[in-house]
Amino acid sequence: MKKAISTVDLLASIRDVVRQSRKAMAYGVNTAMVLTNYEIGRLIVEHEQKGAVRAGYADKTLKTLALRLTTEFGKGFSVDNLERDRKFYLLWSKSATLSRVSAAPTMQAVIAPRDKISATPSRKSVSPFWLSWSHYVFLMAIADEAERRFYELEAATGNWSLRELRRQFDSSLYERLALSRDKRKVKALSRKGQIVEVPHDVIKDPYVLEFLGLKEDSSYSESDLETSIINRIEHFLLELGKGFLFETRQKRFTYGDQHFRVDMVFYNRLLRCYVLVDLKIGRLTHQDLGQMQMYVNYYDRKVKLPDENPTVGILLCKEKNDALVEITLPKDNRQIFARKYQLYLPTKAELRAQLKGVSV
C-alpha cells in the first residue's frame, strides 16, 4: 500500500513544477529575443552587402526601418537598437559559438525544454541559447575578440548573472588568469574558457577582494579580513573560481603536543582536493611558507582519502617577495602558491601592459 503524500510534500512538488515552468517560459522568451535580434542583424547586413550600400544611404535605411517597425510593433526598434542588432550579427556570425544557429530558427528550437538539454553546456556547443540578450549587449562592448569569447564561455558555463559578468570583467578576470599562464594556455582561454585540471589552473594573480568593503589604507587585522570574507563567502567563492566548496574557518588540528589552526579550509570538487587558505596582512615571510607546507603535509598524510589528490595551499598576502618564495619552496612545487590580494579593482591598462610579454 502506497504511503499517502502529505499536504506539505504536495505543496513542495507543485512549487517545483511552477518554478520549472516559469524558468522554461523565461528561457524561451530570452532565446526568441536573442535569435530575433541576430536574424534582424543578418537581414540588415545582407541588404547592405547586396546593394553595395553607402554610409549615408545605410543611415537613411535604418531610420526608415526604425520608424515603420516602431509604428507596427511598438518600442524596441530604434535606430540604436537596429545598429546593435547589426553589430551582433557581424561579431558573432563567424564565431564558433553561433555557427550552428540557423538563419531561420524554428520555434521548436526556441521553446525546447531546458531538461532536454544538458544542465551545463559543453564548451563545444555553447550558443546564444545560453545567454540573455542583456549579456550579449554587454559583451559587444568588449573590443578584444579573444577576451570577449572568454567571457562568453565563462558566463555560459558558469551560469553567471549579468551582474556577475560585469563584476568579473571589472575585476579583469581574463588578464589575471592570463598572467598565471604560459602562451599556449593564454590562447586556450579564448577557445575553451577556464579549464580546471591542475591546481595552477585555479590560481589568479592578484586576487581582488573589493567586495569586502575594506579600505586599502585603513588599519585592519587578519581576523578582520577573515571575518569580512566569511560574511561575504558567496562573493569570495566566485573570486576563488570554479569548483570551490567552503568547509570551515579556523580549522584546529593537533600534532604531537601542539595545536594549529588553518584560517580557511575549502574543497575543490573539480580538482578533488582540499584547498587551505591562510591570510597575511603584512609582508610574506619564509616562516609563513614553512607553516603552510606543514599544514599541507598534515592534510595529505592525515586527512585526505587515498583516492583524493594532494592538498593545495594558498597564501593570500598584502606583499610578497617572489625571490623569497622561489628559494623557500621546492623546485618542483605544485601545491603551495603565494599570491597577492588587493582591496580595489585593478587597472586594466596596467594588467594588459604586463600581458604584452605573455600573450601572442
> Is 326 part of any domain?
yes
Note the maximum CA span of the chain. Answer: 85
**Residues 225, 340 share a domain:** yes
Q: Which of 155, 170, 185 is the last residue of a domain?
A: 170
Overall number of domains in the chain: 2
Regarding whether 206 and 108 lie in a shared domain, the answer is no
What is the b/e burial string over 35-66, where b = at least 16 CB atoms within 10 angstroms of the residue's CB? bebbbbbbebbeebeeeebeeeebeebbeebb
* Dist. CA 253–CA 197, nearest whole Å: 29
Instruction: Decide which of 119, 146, 170 is a domain's last residue.
Output: 170
Q: If DSSP codes are grouped into helix, strand and coil, which group holds residue 310?
A: coil
CA distance 316 to 313: 10
Domain with 215, as residue range(s), is: 202-346
What's the pLDDT at 110?
38
Domain contains 358: no
275, amino acid identity: V
Q: Are residue 215 and residue 312 in the same domain, yes or no?
A: yes
Least confident of 73-77, 243-247, 334-338, 352-356: 352-356
| Model confidence at 359: pLDDT above 80 | no
CA distance 116 to 122: 14
Query: Tell me: the pLDDT tens digits for 289-335?
Result: 999 999 999 999 999 999 999 999 999 998 888 899 999 998 889 99
Q: Are residues 146 and 283 in the same domain?
A: no
Let me know whether 250 and 309 are in one domain: yes
List of E strands, the chain = 207-208, 244-255, 258-268, 273-283, 312-319, 336-342
**pLDDT higher than 70, residue 134:** yes
**Is position 189 within any domain?**
no
Residue 218, sorted as left (phi over 0), alpha (psi -120 to 50) or beta, turns out to be: beta
State which of 77-81, 245-249, 343-347 shows the largest mean pLDDT: 245-249
Q: Is residue 158 part of a domain?
A: yes
Q: Is residue 329 part of a domain?
A: yes
Higher pLDDT among residues 103 and 191, named by residue: 191
Q: What is the pLDDT of residue 106?
A: 40
Measuring CA to CA, how many Å separate 72 from each of 34, 85, 222? Answer: 20, 18, 62
The answer as to whether 353 is a domain residue is: no
Q: What is the rounded average pLDDT of the residues 202-230?
A: 89
Residues 12-59 pLDDT 10s: 766 677 777 766 666 677 888 888 889 888 888 888 777 555 555 567
Domain end (from 170, 193, 222): 170
The H-or-E segment that residue 169 falls in is helix 162-170
DSSP labels for 7-65?
Answer: HHHHHHHHHHHHHHHHHHHHHHHHHHHHHHHHHHHHHHHHHHHHTT--HHHHHHHHHHH
Question: Higher confidence at residue 254 or residue 109?
Answer: 254
Contact assessment for residue 261 and residue 284, using Cβ atoms and an 8 Å cutoff: no
> How many CB atoms are closer than 10 A to CB 327?
11
101, 206: one domain: no
pLDDT of residue 62: 85
Q: Are residues 302 and 222 in the same domain?
A: yes
Say if residue 208 is in the same domain as residue 88: no
pTM of the model: 0.71
241 with 310, same domain? yes
Q: What is the pLDDT of residue 33?
A: 85
Give the pLDDT confidence of 162-183 residue by residue, as tens digits: 999 999 999 999 888 887 776 6
Cis check: omega of the bond before 310, within 30 degrees of 0: no
If you average pLDDT over residues 207-219, what whole number do you get? 86
Is residue 158 domain-shared with residue 212, that is, in the same domain?
A: no
Nine-digit cell string for 46: 545582407
Same domain, yes or no: 158 and 220: no
Evaluate whether residue 184 is within a structural domain: no
In a domain? residue 194: no
User: What is residue 107's three-state secondary structure?
Assistant: helix
CATH number at residue 270: 3.40.1350.10
Pairwise CA distance, residues 192 & 209, whole Å: 26
Residues 238, 331: one domain?
yes
